[in-house]
Amino acid sequence: MNNGILLGIMLLPALTVCGIAASAAPSTPADLAQALEVIRKKHDLPSLAVVVVKDGRICDRAAVGVRKSGDPTPVTTNDVFHIGSCTKSMTATLAALLIEEGKLRWDTTITDVFPELKGRMDKQYETVTVEQLLTHRGGVPGAPPAAAWKRAWEQQGTPIRQRREFIEAVLSQPPEAAPGTKMIYSNQGYAILGAMLEKLTGTPWETLITERLFKPLHMDSAGFGPPGTTGAVDEPWGHTRRLTITVPSQEDNPPAIAPAGHRTRRPRPLFARRPCPLYNFPHAAQPGG
């Protein structure tokens, strides 16, 4: 997610949960919301949400602020927030699952999966491994080729086709640094990894992550792209800072780089299915996002 996004989501350790008190922690839902509001105002955020968890159970949730800057509609604890680049950890989990199943290795190279691209990709990429892509050490650039990025926004063809076209454009150009020598945060690297998983399984990344992660973990609110209805304020909008102005937007990264960041979900932990009974209680898409 672009570093200009001003929509915050927080996952806190259990400070005061299920009857266990900490002296500096809020003790009621109202106290938690008040504490969040102080943080929200301090950092000039449109909204902020928090979930408190103990032993895999949600014991407290709160949300403060508005869904869209300039609009009075408040956020709620049931809103679906855009979580952007948290998607990378999920793509990494998919890779690890395939490794456990013997379908992939940490040292599997791009050429191992795409032998047909040998001679068409820059030679330095041929030996870049899954591990290097996961750790942003494959030399893949932080910014995509301008023409490829423009083409990605046209969203022509299936997501698999869009990703394949995009990664071929990235791989055809020299890496930003020699692979293995430098950490370069790169959405493009995760797009390559996502395309590798698709090639190995014959399954779109969107289907893989839904069937292998969302469903088993009961992530029922998880989805793809910006949340809500276009033009409506029925879910939180993303925001960017332009000079001194906060600009709301419902844009998201194109599907070509979805394995790097194209996700939404409600503010609740992956391992918790339902709230603790104590209480009844996300974008401007830019190349570096």
- pLDDT per residue over 171-228, tens digit each? 999 999 999 999 999 999 999 999 999 999 999 999 999 999 989 988 888 888 788 8
Instruction: Let me know if residue 145 belongs to a domain.
Output: yes
Instruction: Let me know if residue 102 belongs to a domain.
Output: yes
pLDDT at 7: 40
Residue 142's domain spans which residues?
87-213
pLDDT at 283: 30
CATH number, domain with residue 200 = 3.40.710.10
- Residues of the chain above pLDDT 90, percent: 58
Instruction: Let me know if residue 250 belongs to a domain.
Output: no
pLDDT band at 252 (very low <50, low <70, confident <90, very high): confident
132-142: pLDDT as tens digits: 999 999 999 99
pLDDT band at 28 (very low <50, low <70, confident <90, very high): low
Question: Which has more confidence, 286 or 9?
Answer: 9
Query: 124-128, 143-147, 197-201, 254-258: lowest mean pLDDT where?
Result: 254-258
Instruction: Let me know if residue 246 belongs to a domain.
Output: no
Task: Give dist(CA 48, CA 74) in Å, integer.
Answer: 11
263-265 sheet: strands from edge to edge: 81-82, 263-265, 223-224
Structure tokens at 132: 């290097």
- Residues of the chain above pLDDT 70, percent: 80
Instruction: Let me know if residue 28 belongs to a domain.
Output: no
Instruction: Let me know if residue 15 belongs to a domain.
Output: no
User: How many domains does the chain fold into?
Assistant: 1
Instruction: Let me know if residue 38 belongs to a domain.
Output: no
Contacts for 73-76 with beta carbons within 8 Å, 24 or more apart? 73/233, 75/47, 75/49, 75/236
Confidence check: pLDDT of 41 > 90: yes
Instruction: Let me know if residue 108 belongs to a domain.
Output: yes
Integer angstrom CA distances of residue 189 from 32, 59, 210? 39, 37, 21
What type of residue is 14?
A
